[in-house]
Amino acid sequence: MTGKPAHPDRAKVERLLALLADEATGALSREERAELDTLLADGLNDEQGRVIGEDDMHRVAGELIAAGVEREQMPAHVRSAILARAARERGSGSASGAASGTSSTTPPRSARDWGGWVAAAAAVLIAALGWLRTPPAPPSPTPEQLATVLEGDSETVRIPWTSPGDPAGAGASGEVLWNNRLQRGFMRITGLAKNDRKVEQYQIWIIDSGRSEPQPVDGGVFDFEPGAGGTAVIPIRAAIAVRTPAAFAVTVEKPGGVVVSKQERVPLLAQIKG
């Protein structure tokens, strides 16, 4: 059975880590400085072919060094992988470390003592880079925050609800606000019949005249839970990009919604007038 091929830049990664570690601890000679500058100028690619920049390499080296002092800076899975590989690579060195009172899983803090630790760290460099280079996802805006943003945008359209005749929408009112440039929108609904989520849920659909497919775009499943004044503010989350919205329809579906609606019950409809 053929194992996973080694990363083509593995040797360069190991050497870079060693040089960056020496640089971080002030132990870099003039010749090593020139070698480091050359390696950084050549650049690296990760397993997805993305360029690993100089800043990324410095950050990874710093985090790997800091892992021996402040381990909580790294996610547990990255830290565990590094320490496990380090323990295997260091082999007999672990025993001598234990005899002298040094933990067998604590990476040496002197750059000149890295040895197998550098090779172990290099083996998980790509995983560490993936962690460092992925910024945390920003929190989703609340419906009220989304409403404020969309209402202040000149490209946002407002479409009032009408009731096609389903009892759940009798006496309901409100509007849809949609911004096609931002691909974001929300609904204001008042007077819709409250649903039992164990029995049925509402689902919003976007009729897109710019698509060749006949089925409307799913905009999300929701329960009608009115707030102050009896009005609910509900975001629309289009499953795919909307090209030319022509109308918005609320249907009554089974709990969890459906992929394709039969549109047997349509309590609310908002049509964009061309």
Per-residue pLDDT of the chain (274 residues; tens, 9 = 90+): 444 444 555 667 667 767 766 665 566 788 888 887 787 777 666 555 666 666 666 665 555 555 443 333 445 555 555 555 545 544 544 444 444 444 444 444 343 443 444 444 544 454 445 444 445 666 778 878 888 889 999 999 999 999 999 999 999 999 999 999 999 999 999 999 999 999 999 999 999 999 888 889 999 999 999 988 899 999 999 999 999 999 999 999 999 999 999 999 999 999 998 7
| Helix/strand/coil percentages in the chain, nearest 5 | 35, 20, 40
Sequence-separated (6 or more) residues with CB below 8 Å from residue 258:
203
CATH code for the domain defined by 143-271: 2.60.40
R_g (Cα) of the chain, nearest Å: 29
Predicted structure pTM score: 0.52
Q: What is the pLDDT at residue 141?
A: 80
Rounded Cα gap, residues 107 and 116, in angstroms: 10
Rounded Cα gap, residues 87 and 38, in angstroms: 31
Q: Where in the chain is the domain with CATH 2.60.40?
A: 143-271
Q: What is the pLDDT at residue 212?
A: 84
Q: What is the pLDDT at residue 127?
A: 47
What order of strands is seen across the sheet that includes strand 184-190? 157-160, 173-179, 184-190, 231-236
